Amino acid sequence: MLIYLNHAKKQGMDASIIQENLARIRASIAAPPDVKHAVKIVAVSKQQPDERIAAALAAGQRVFGENRVAEALARWEGRRGAYPDLRLHLIGALQTNKVADAVGLFDVIEVLDREKLAAALAREMQKQARPLPCLVQVNTGDEAQKSGVSPLEAVAFARRCQHQYGLNVEGFMCIPPIDETPAMHFALLAKLAAEADLSVLSMGMSGDYLEAIRFGATQVRIGTGIFGARPD
């Protein structure tokens, strides 16, 4: 993969490399014999140039992740018509003043992390008649700078979102601390999902998605592994 990334940086990412990356990742996900459940690849297209996204679409990829509402709107709104089976996941912090745009554009909200947001999402989804699936983001490392609910509160918060706000909470999402081995964070998220009786686990990125799958990830969020390095 490093060869691909360097190549991408030097020469601009070419469509066949993105196609190869996707094929390799799909094959690696299908390979582990002890993994019985299906794993969805969320291609994280944030900050990537448009031609790389076109290449992923041409290679059949339809599920994409974005972390900024305005950037995602600019990139995807016009493509909806051509790709009716497109599925967009919001994977970055959501401010309540962006909730209307987010509910209008995205198909899955992975970043439900506080009561105020739950209330705003519930109201807006009802208004737009778009009852989107949501994941509760869990701050498994209890990092001050990271959003997400504390692991101690995650199960109760998910239940409150379901019962008090009527949200369709399907599972949990986490971003482990960059300076720790992710395994214990993946294990913790899986344990919380079992406790809450929720089936979706969004965990694992380019560097650790295979490990996340071994711990039960049902969807992995892969950016640079598919598209190459994000240009700065």
Residues at the interface with ligand PLP (CB under 6 A): 44, 46, 67, 91-92, 175, 205-206, 221-225
Q: Which is nearer to ligand PLP, 148 or 151 (CB)?
A: 148
Closest contact distance (angstroms) between CB of 216 and ligand PLP is: 17
Residue 134 near residue 158, CB atoms below 8 Å: no
3-state secondary structure of 214: helix
Q: Which is nearer to ligand PLP, 204 or 216 (CB)?
A: 204
Residue 29 near residue 229, CB atoms below 8 Å: no
Q: Which is nearer to ligand PLP, 185 or 221 (CB)?
A: 221
Q: DSSP letter at 222?
A: E
Tokens at 229, concatenated: 């390095």
Closest contact distance (angstroms) between CB of 81 and ligand PLP is: 27
Radius of gyration of the chain (CA): 17
Residue 114 near residue 138, CB atoms below 8 Å: no
Closest contact distance (angstroms) between CB of 42 and ligand PLP is: 8
Closest contact distance (angstroms) between CB of 166 and ligand PLP is: 26
Which residue is at the shortest CB distance from ligand PLP?
223
Residue 5 near residue 224, CB atoms below 8 Å: yes
Q: Which is nearer to ligand PLP, 67 or 140 (CB)?
A: 67
Q: Which is nearer to ligand PLP, 119 or 190 (CB)?
A: 190
Closest contact distance (angstroms) between CB of 126 and ligand PLP is: 27
Q: What is the CB-side half-sphere exposure of residue 106 using CA atoms within 13 A?
A: 32
Closest contact distance (angstroms) between CB of 222 and ligand PLP is: 5
Q: Where are the alpha helices (DSSP H) in the chain?
A: 2-11, 15-30, 50-58, 69-76, 99-105, 115-128, 154-163, 183-196, 209-214, 224-227
Q: Which is nearer to ligand PLP, 61 or 67 (CB)?
A: 67
